[in-house]
Amino acid sequence: MTFNDIFKSSFLESVSEFSILDTLLGMIFACILGLFIFLIYKKTCSGVMYSTGFALTLPGLSLVTTLVIMAVTSNVVLSLGMVGALSIVRFRAAIKEPMEIFYLFWALAVGIVIGAGMIPLAVMGSLFIGLILLLFANRKTHVNPYLAVLTCKDEKTEEQAFVLLGQSVDKYVVKTKTVGQGGIEVTAELRMKDASTSFVNRLCEIDGVENVVLVSYNGEYMS
């Protein structure tokens, strides 16, 4: 038997029996679990901006992946063609947070598992993952720090500002200090006692403090 005979074989052109009921059942479960992933993402999203487009991508990705897996498991030629087609696809969308990668893989995994016919596994796995995320995603284990940038006229003003700062916040650490002809600029990382920022107003009232800027900082972005 030559390679020509292999590629002309009816095996490569065979298509297994197509079941409308199984297809509808798989797509319905993919839609339900995709919407479940969408709701979990919406509930646990902790980023600066909630991305509606990304959230709607999750149920769509589950449906498309389920459809693709159902197709490639029914036809050998189609599966080879699909691998070739997907190998040239390049995705350029920027991922803003690491958790977005997790949700993408979750939606893909649901589609693959349902497409392979293991619906109970997809349901139980998604429920377990969703429960874990709801329990731990929004539980804060630390307080986000703030950065305070103070512009002082002289060293005496700087000392007065830091005395007031020490009384107003839980703790602070000086990160940078720039001394020039125009004065002293100090950047300090703060841990707040509460959500009140009234101490910034009192810092500005100190004679010699020219400017105070307070920004929220979590290690990845400032707002």
| Mean pLDDT confidence for 119-148 | 82
Give 7-31 pLDDT, tens digit per residue: 455 544 555 556 788 889 989 999 9
Q: Chain-wide mean pLDDT for the chain? A: 78
Q: Is-contact 26 66, C-beta < 8 A?
A: yes
| φ, ψ at 108 (rounded to 5°) | -65, -45
Q: Report whether pLDDT(79) > 70.
A: no
Give 26-76 pLDDT, tens digit per residue: 899 999 999 999 999 888 876 556 677 788 888 998 998 888 888 777 665
- Following DSSP, what letter does each residue of 79-106 receive, concatenated? HHHHHHHHHT----PPP-SHHHHHHHHH
Give 134-163 pLDDT, tens digit per residue: 888 766 555 668 888 888 888 888 888 888
Full-model pTM: 0.60
- 144-172 burial, b at 16+ Cβ within 10 Å, e below that, comes to ebbbbebbbeeeebbebbbebbeebbeeb
All structural domains of the chain: 3-136 (no CATH), 146-216 (3.30.70.260)
| Mean pLDDT confidence for 113-129 | 91
Q: Is the dihedral of CA 197, 199, 205, 210 positive or negative?
A: negative
Report the candidate in 3, 9, 97 with the shortest Cα–Cα distance to residue 55.
97
Q: Is-contact 216 144, C-beta < 8 A?
A: yes
SS3 category, 177: strand
